[in-house]
Amino acid sequence: AATRTFSIIKPDATRRNLTGAVTKMLEDAGLRVVASKRIKMSREQAEGFYSVHKERPFFNDLCTFMTSGPVVVQVLEGENAVLRNREVMGATNPEQADEGTIRKTYAESIEANSVHGSDSDENAKIEIDYFFEPEEIVG
Ligand code: CMP
């Protein structure tokens, strides 16, 4: 059965006009965009979203980066959506990402790594609920 995951096209990608190119790679990987909106994240939204990382040394810079420009938050649907999305994104560090992945193709650095994707079904639900009302998702 189809499942859902949560994706963010990050400010480094929107700044380079890559929203369509990144979305095409997601779609080519078998994922359907069932919700999408372009937003400017507030500091509070970014800190809340990444709260699991709040003790990490990169937390402050990460929240500054994520609020530095527009992002596109999306709900993606497909068979094994979380895993498919993780495969097409590639490793967090673009230097370690496989050829053909979004991060290998487009990421600028480990921080400006073009996309976020949920790491589990449980977190996907939490992250979708953080940014979307149920009626904004049209499967
Ligand atoms: P993301 O999948 O959105 O989850 C946490 C983000 O922190 C990660 O992608 C990167 O953008 C950023 N980040 C910056 N430095 C690091 C690091 N050393 N390890 C992991 N994530 C990092």
pLDDT by residue for the chain (139 residues), tens only, comes to: 899 999 999 999 999 999 999 999 999 999 999 999 999 999 999 999 999 999 999 999 999 999 999 999 999 999 999 999 999 999 999 999 999 999 999 999 999 999 999 999 999 999 999 999 999 999 9
Q: Is 91 in the pocket of ligand 1 (CB under 6 A)?
A: no
CA of 22 to the centre of ligand 1 (A): 18
CA–CA distance, 65 with 107 (Å, rounded to integer): 14
Residue 10 among known ligand-binding residues: yes
Catalytic residues: 116
Give pLDDT, residue 48. Answer: 98
Q: Which atom of ligand 1 is nearest to the CA of 66?
A: 11
**Phi, psi for residue 79 in degrees, rounded to 5:** -65, 130
pTM assigned to the model? 0.98
> CB burial class (10 A; 0-12, 13-18, 19+) of residue 129?
exposed
Give pLDDT, residue 99. Answer: 98
In sequence order, the β-bridge partners of residue 75 are: 6, 35
